[in-house]
Amino acid sequence: MNDGPRLTETQAWQALKAHYEEISGTSLRQLFAEDPTRGERFCAEGAGIFLDYSKNRITAKTLILLVQLARECGLEARRDAMFRGEKINLTENRAVLHTALRVPRGASISVDGRDVVPDVHAVIDRMSDFADRVRDGRWLGCTGKRIKNVINIGIGGSYLGPEMAYLALRPSSQRAMNFRFVSNVDGADFTEATQGLDPAETLFVISSKTFTTLETMTNARTARKWLVDSLGREEAVASHFVAVSTNGEKVREFGIDTANMFGFWDWVGGRYSMDSAIGLSTMLAVGPENFKEMLAGFHAMDEHFRTAPLESNLPAIMGLLTVWYNNFFGAQTMGVMPYASCLKRFPAYLQQLQMESNGKHVDLGGRFVDYETGPIIWGEPGTDAQHSFYQLIHQGTKLIPCDLIGFCRPLSPLDHHHDLLMANMFAQAEALAFGKTAAELTGEGSPDFQTPFRICEGNRPTNVILAESLTPKTLGSLVALYEHNVFTQGIVWNIDSFDQWGVELGKVLAGRIIPELSGAAAPQLGHDSSTNALIRRYRRLKGRD
Ligand code: G6Q
């Protein structure tokens, strides 16, 4: 365990603290006025993604100090250790090797003395063969009908990535097939997803690393019953269920032949798994070639992160800017607004990636941190978001740095819509940075009584992320950009970004409450008075007591 000097005692941290005092009063208007080339200088590019970070409250010195902080925290060494397959997930004693899921065939990365790359490619090959057979109709349901519906059953990391990627890549998907996602144990999720579907044409992909997760196993059992009751034979499971898991034994116990199981490994964290076999539903939707393009995009960003100097390294810069606002400006939250409706689940995906990874209160030495860690991440697609919550970002009292993500070419043929969309994205970044002064408003004829209400102070920071178009490859690069951005933050905060102990307690307590809700006889309750009263009310209203 790491029990070296505390982050706040490092030289770079102290220097950043002093530097913050120097520049926190300087506005983006001033910074742009002082340096007319700023918009071209504070930019970086890699793996097909362009980042304009000039509208941030930084100077060249800020960047130098942030990079110094990253170096003092050992970012480069820790990054290299991750890529080598060292067990950097200390609390679970595991390697963190999602980057191995996208290395080209022939590369070599060893974990516990075994080269994992051939295993990775063997799974991709099996997935590809299966996906081709389902997509071209060689894999049939038990009555001989083609598979028209694919339902992914999984939750958390086994759901958010697949759903996000399916929606993002829908323009490249097999339109003759329906793709649905069941995650919540709320029965409404299953009922709605299967509404109107013919079980004889439906394939369930049960995605669960552990194959023990309450929600997923409950939904999987419900799915089996739905199928078997309708088709009248238990053997139907063989052609209508496949599993994605690391737990062959549990898959077999459930009744799925492990020949129809696609594996992955304990060195792939749930929220880092959309490019593993957990992406099977994505591959079924977009086909193996597009899926491999997506993997190539991930890999291109991995290579950028691994090799580009920190000063021009996209994930490192974004991660360090997050630290700058989170720890020096006291920003509690960050917005992510994709100007692409296909990316509507991207903010939800990033919420898990960032908040589960970096929502930690002890450092790697097990000591409570005396600084803020992961910010709250949230967002919705622009332009919709402009008509709901942007007001607070422009004129509210909280500082909310935002990432605005857009593309130069649309996937839709309606190109004139796209110019309107992107004009809005550029305009929002401009308005947030520069605002509108009282003098400007008066000059435009604003009535005096309205002027104070119309002033926009500006000075609201944004990153503008621009790529050519939302292809599978771009999606891979974009996700890897955020994965490594989150990694960078975690290294600076000296936390384990790859565990999630905080989610355990609630699961254990729910296990205790389940029989108290469903048992026939009134239970003896030993909770606090609030929980006891809620359970009693629930049972009473359901007519159980
Ligand atoms: C992700 C988490 C978590 C996990 C789900 C589903 O990093 O570990 O979100 O993905 O709890 O777990 P299973 O895949 O094991 O069902």
Residue 279 C-alpha to ligand 1 middle, in angstroms? 14
**DSSP helix/strand/coil, 63:** helix
Q: Which of 86, 15, 25 is nearest to 498 (CA)?
A: 86
Set 17, 225, 507, 542: catalytic member: 507
Calculate mean pLDDT across residues 317-345: 98
398 vs 458: CA distance, rounded Å: 12
pLDDT tens-place string over residues 361-406: 999 999 999 999 999 999 999 999 999 999 999 999 999 999 999 9
Residue 96 backbone dihedrals phi, psi, to 5 degrees: -125, 90
352 vs 175: CA distance, rounded Å: 29
Query: Which ligand 1 atom is nearest residue 157's CA?
Result: 10
35 contact partners, CB below 8 Å, separation of at least 6: 41
Set 163, 215, 293, 356: catalytic member: 356
Calculate mean pLDDT across residues 347-374: 97
To the nearest whole number, what is the mean pLDDT of the chain? 97
Question: Ligand 1: which residue has its CA nearest to atom 9?
Answer: 156
pLDDT band (50, 70, 90) for residue 38: very high
Structure tokens at 333: 């939250």
Torsion over CA: 23, 29, 32, 34 (sign): negative
> pLDDT above 70 covers what percent of the chain?
99
387 is catalytic: yes
Angle between helices 280-307 and 75-84 (to 10 degrees): 140
pLDDT of 5 reads 75
Query: Which ligand 1 atom is nearest residue 271's CA?
Result: 7
Q: Which of 43, 25, 28, 144 is nearest to 460 (CA)?
A: 28
406 vs 348: CA distance, rounded Å: 17
Asked if residues 354 and 315 have their Cβ atoms less than 8 Å apart, the reply is no
Higher pLDDT, 3 or 524: 524
Asked if residues 305 and 138 have their Cβ atoms less than 8 Å apart, the reply is no
Calculate mean pLDDT across residues 332-346: 98
Query: Which ligand 1 atom is nearest residue 210's CA?
Result: 15
pLDDT of 2 reads 57
72 is catalytic: no
pTM of the model: 0.97
pLDDT of 1 reads 45
Q: Is the pLDDT of residue 3 over 90?
A: no
pLDDT of 222 reads 98
98 is catalytic: no
Q: By mean pLDDT, which of 1-10, 96-105, 194-203, 423-432 is the weakest?
A: 1-10
Q: Is the pLDDT of residue 210 over 80?
A: yes
Q: Is the peptide bond before 213 cis (omega within 30 degrees of 0)?
A: no
Tell me which amino acid residue 305 is.
F
Q: Scanning the structure block, which residue is given the tokens 């009063």?
A: 25
Question: Ligand 1: which residue has its CA nearest to atom 2?
Answer: 270
pLDDT tens-place string over residues 276-307: 999 999 999 999 999 999 999 999 999 999 99
Query: Which ligand 1 atom is nearest residue 357's CA?
Result: 7
Residue 209 C-alpha to ligand 1 middle, in angstroms? 7
pLDDT tens-place string over residues 506-541: 999 999 999 999 999 999 999 999 999 999 999 999
Residue 268 C-alpha to ligand 1 middle, in angstroms? 11
Asked if residues 50 and 466 have their Cβ atoms less than 8 Å apart, the reply is yes
Q: Residues enclosing ligand 1, CB less than 6 A?
A: 155-158, 208-210, 213, 216, 269-271, 356, 500
Calculate mean pLDDT across residues 138-149: 98
Side-by-side strand order, sheet with 333-338: 43-46, 49-52, 462-467, 402-407, 333-338, 376-378
Q: Is the pLDDT of residue 4 over 70?
A: no
Other CB atoms within 10 Å distance of the CB of residue 228 = 17
Alpha helices by DSSP H, 308-363 = 314-323, 346-351, 357-358
Strand partners, 181: 152
270 vs 249: CA distance, rounded Å: 19
DSSP annotation of 503: G
Question: Ligand 1: which residue has its CA nearest to atom 10?
Answer: 157
